[in-house]
Amino acid sequence: MTPPTPGDLDIDARYACAKALALEAAQLGMDFYRRREALAVEHKGSDRQDVVSIADKRIEDFIRARLAERFPEDGFLGEESGSADLQARCVWVIDPIDGTACFVNGLHTWCVSVGLLVDGQPHVGAIADPNHDELFHGCRGRGAFVNDTPLAVSAATHVCEGLTGAGTFHPRGKEHFIPFLQKLLGEGGMFIRNGSGALMTAYVAAGRLIGYYETQLKSWDCLAGLVLVEEAGGRVNDFFRNDGLLHGNPYLVAAPGVYRQLAQLIGPSLDG
């Protein structure tokens, strides 16, 4: 029997929905953002930097309900509400507010990330940044865009030729993050951390960053962006190994001219 292909699915409808839903959810996020001082904010576990607000939960509920209405046969994985039907051919992977710490502290580096796996592969991504009126979006085989402008990764061939996104929470931070920064700076490179893995991934696809390394990232932070990077000509590490969809992994996306150099600076922890 011939295995099913994405052509058997209505990818056009799902791509259009991802874009529209990311934009609508981002505007809902802006409504919360403008009155953020009144939001209830909680801390996740023992990490005081890992926060969640009522806005995250409300926006994810909104997205999940809309997707269940449009595509009831699809699975779902969200940062706040967990997973359902992960064996489905199409699985939506959602971060309702990526960059919550920035969001609650009045910084403009947060976004809504809507990604879609088809047969286990990242296929559609939409990342809406309402503070800058930018929608990063892409579909496998169809390219990647910011609004209507095609994306292309940087032509850099050495880390000294641009900015590298870098990030960590406290787990794995001291062991892996500081050594990487030391090596990057030693090569003449420079780094930036804006608090949103989805946006930094999109910036790699747009050529604004030459690469982005995170010591440990969750799939809802990057799945939409992985589509963009690959469609824009970039390289990605084997993020989904060892059940990375549910548990996360070390993460690297980069322009092809610097990927190997960055991977060497990171060392064995990238794929270990």
pLDDT, tens only, 210-245: 999 999 999 999 999 999 999 999 999 999 999 999
Between residues 135 and 175, the one the model is more confident about: 135
CA–CA gap between residue 95 and residue 93 (Å, rounded): 7
CA–CA gap between residue 137 and residue 123 (Å, rounded): 11
Name the residue among 104, 112, 127, 122 with its Cα closest to residue 79. Answer: 112
Name the residue among 49, 24, 28, 54 with its Cα closest to residue 39. Answer: 54
What is the percentage of the chain residues whose pLDDT exceeds 70? 91
Name the residue among 231, 230, 225, 201 with its Cα closest to residue 213. Answer: 201
What is 159-270's CATH topology? Answer: D-Maltodextrin-Binding Protein; domain 2 (3.40.190)
Say if residue 47's pLDDT is above 50: no
Say if residue 7's pLDDT is above 70: no
Fold match between domain 6-150 and domain 159-270: no
* DSSP state for residue 141 in the 8-state scheme: T
Say if residue 102's pLDDT is above 80: yes
CA–CA gap between residue 270 and residue 249 (Å, rounded): 8
What are the tokens at 248? 């996360």
Say if residue 49's pLDDT is above 50: no
Report, as an integer, the average pLDDT of 20-33. 96
Domain boundaries, the chain: 6-150, 159-270
- 3.40.50.920, 3.30.720.110, 3.30.540.10, 3.90.226.10: CATH of 6-150: 3.30.540.10
Amino acid identity at 225:
G
pLDDT at 44: 53
